[in-house]
Chain A
């Protein structure tokens, strides 16, 4: 699948934003501190920025509101509805912290739960597509949810170092969430790289009974929408290296930095946590790029790819 930068940005930014918003909703940070107020605003900006990026690839964005109508069947529509609805508790929580130095416990909990549901809907857009076997597994929403949680905790840790100081509990939770997220991601990669395709040129043409089916000629000499959108291929050796790079930058380093930060003084901890956030964000971008680039679409059986 073609790794469109608008979609990669959307899933990365909104994943981070929802994670941070959920941690704020759970009350991990002191609502009266300036750092927490900034965190509230940042979470909302990340989510809004992600949603905006996602409309960039639409052919007719002016009627994007119509995407809220088919929640009964479509995960994309459900995601849109949830995203809009989740803004309510998040904005209320942010308002309470920024202007009244307080936390709304019930609203916060509801907001955190809705963040989780929204991220789940995003993941199900991909996981529900049978034509893309790599995505069509419950491991996909598991990865999205765990990465969002881990991202939220890493961000919360770094805001804590700027405010009340990093508690050992947040650092520990962040480390555990990171390990869990990358663990599940490696299970996802293992499945992707060892599965046998459910659809083949033989089943796509129904001609497997006669012999080995190979593409002889494409329908046209140049590319078309389908080959551009779904014909992306990434070399296996590069994919393997990139997944190691993503895990190192987005998993190993943040784990290390969080652990050391928990035992360090304020400035050291703040620096380390900022680096952990940067590493995690980089790791996520690479992971999301691979998520698309490595996924093979069943239609490529008709295009020899």
Chain B
């Protein structure tokens, strides 16, 4: 059924991604692929995996952006531009266009927790849902001919055979920097809602009218490098004791 749930889901499970913390290591990309290629639905295939033109299906990808403040410049490491690593997976939108455009009923949004899934036995691989998603969260698997997307690791988060600590999405469990958080965004007291409130979490492309569940936390303000004193390596004026002596000896050589 590709009508969206008539009542808002009692839970809105999703991710909160901290752009201040992500180091762009791509560990979540790999753990997502590893978990999901053996989990929900068909495998995540690669085409020409050992060749020069390797491509494959991923449910989570990391983009990297460069942001130059007004009047700022990019001069190697001393410039004002900052690099932000940007993980992106399905945002499990409340008004998910990918669900309503699906002609077969394969795409659906779960009534109980708002997770957006594809029933691969119904999917004809028309690709229209990928066209409708502004976020690029859906990729057709070229081997299986069905649409793949982030499942919010639905086969982990409710999986009682896993230890409790592992009942979170694979990407969240893996992230070495703790940049990805999982929880119920409809509950204002949840860990993720508190993060969003405290850090000013925002929606991606609100103008698309999709009302994403996942939120992003902005990078914290940064000191301008130009305002900092010259690094010591360039300048030995303040050296004391042993270093003052060494400085003098080296000057004399």
Q: State the Cβ distance, B175 to closest chain A Cβ, in Å.
A: 16
- The interface-forming segment of A43-51, A203-211, A245-253, A255-263 is A203-211
| Complex Cα gap A223–B124 (Å) | 23
Partner of B216, one of A61, A76, A206: A206
Q: Are A76 and B126 in contact (CB under 8 A)?
A: yes
Q: Mark B1-44, 1 if CB is under 8 A from A, else 0.
A: 11100000000000000010000000001000000000000000
Q: State the Cβ distance, A47 to closest chain B Cβ, in Å.
A: 18
Q: Are B72 and A60 in contact (CB under 8 A)?
A: no
Q: Are A72 and B204 in contact (CB under 8 A)?
A: no
* A1: B residues at CB distance < 8 A: 131
Q: State the Cβ distance, B21 to closest chain A Cβ, in Å.
A: 15
Q: Mark A229-273, 1 if CB is under 8 A from B, else 0.
A: 110000000000000000000000000000000000000000000
| Complex Cα gap A32–B199 (Å) | 76
Instruction: Decide if B57 is an interface residue (CB 8 Å cutoff).
Output: yes
Q: B54: nearest residue on chain A (CB-CB)?
A: A222
B94-143 with Cβ < 8 A to chain A: 97, 99-106, 122-128, 130-136, 139-142
| Complex Cα gap A125–B29 (Å) | 32
Q: A59: nearest residue on chain B (CB-CB)?
A: B125
Q: State the Cβ distance, A104 to closest chain B Cβ, in Å.
A: 31
- The interface-forming segment of B78-86, B162-170, B227-235 is B78-86
Instruction: Decide if A168 is an interface residue (CB 8 Å cutoff).
Output: no
Instruction: Decide if B182 is an interface residue (CB 8 Å cutoff).
Output: no
Q: Mark B50-71, 1 if CB is under 8 A from A, else 0.
A: 0001111110011111111110
Q: Are A225 and B103 in contact (CB under 8 A)?
A: no
* B55: A residues at CB distance < 8 A: 220, 222-225
Partner of A224, one of B72, B139, B203: B139
| Complex Cα gap A77–B82 (Å) | 46
Instruction: Decide if A67 is an interface residue (CB 8 Å cutoff).
Output: yes
Instruction: Decide if A212 is an interface residue (CB 8 Å cutoff).
Output: yes
Instruction: Decide if A128 is an interface residue (CB 8 Å cutoff).
Output: yes
Instruction: Decide if B88 is an interface residue (CB 8 Å cutoff).
Output: yes
Q: State the Cβ distance, B38 to closest chain A Cβ, in Å.
A: 21
Instruction: Decide if A95 is an interface residue (CB 8 Å cutoff).
Output: no
How many residues of B sit at the interface, in one of the four size bands?
A: 35 or more
* A213: B residues at CB distance < 8 A: 65-67
Partner of B139, one of A61, A204, A226: A226
- The interface-forming segment of B151-159, B206-214, B236-244 is B206-214
* A198: B residues at CB distance < 8 A: 207-208
| Complex Cα gap A301–B70 (Å) | 20
Q: A62: nearest residue on chain B (CB-CB)?
A: B124
| Complex Cα gap A210–B208 (Å) | 21
Q: Do A212 and B2 form a contact, CB below 8 Å, given A70-B103, A203-B206, A229-B130?
A: no
* A199: B residues at CB distance < 8 A: 134, 205, 207-208
* A211: B residues at CB distance < 8 A: 67-70, 72, 81
Q: Are B208 and A206 in contact (CB under 8 A)?
A: no
Among A59, A203, A222, A303, the one with the most B-chain Cβ atoms within 10 Å of its Cβ is A59
Partner of B125, one of A60, A130, A230: A60
Q: State the Cβ distance, A132 to closest chain B Cβ, in Å.
A: 7
Instruction: Decide if A201 is an interface residue (CB 8 Å cutoff).
Output: yes
Q: State the Cβ distance, A108 to closest chain B Cβ, in Å.
A: 29
Q: State the Cβ distance, A181 to closest chain B Cβ, in Å.
A: 25
A interface residues with partner B (beta carbon < 8 Å): 1, 57-61, 63-64, 66-70, 72-77, 80, 125, 128-132, 198-199, 201, 203-207, 209-220, 222-226, 229-230, 297-299, 301-303
In the complex, given contacts A204-B204, A213-B65, A298-B134, what are 4 additional A-B residue pairs having Cβ atoms less than 8 angstroms apart?
A76-B103, A199-B205, A220-B61, A222-B55
- Could you list 29 A-B pairs, sorted by A, with CB under 8 Å? A59-B127, A63-B104, A66-B106, A74-B100, A74-B101, A75-B101, A125-B101, A129-B132, A131-B131, A131-B134, A199-B207, A201-B65, A203-B204, A205-B84, A207-B67, A210-B219, A211-B72, A214-B67, A214-B68, A215-B66, A218-B63, A219-B61, A222-B54, A224-B139, A229-B140, A297-B134, A298-B208, A302-B88, A302-B135
- 7 A-B pairs with least C-beta separation: A59-B125, A59-B145, A299-B136, A77-B103, A219-B61, A211-B69, A67-B103
B interface residues with partner A (beta carbon < 8 Å): 1-3, 19, 29, 53-58, 61-70, 72, 81-84, 86, 88, 97, 99-106, 122-128, 130-136, 139-142, 144-146, 202-209, 216, 218-219
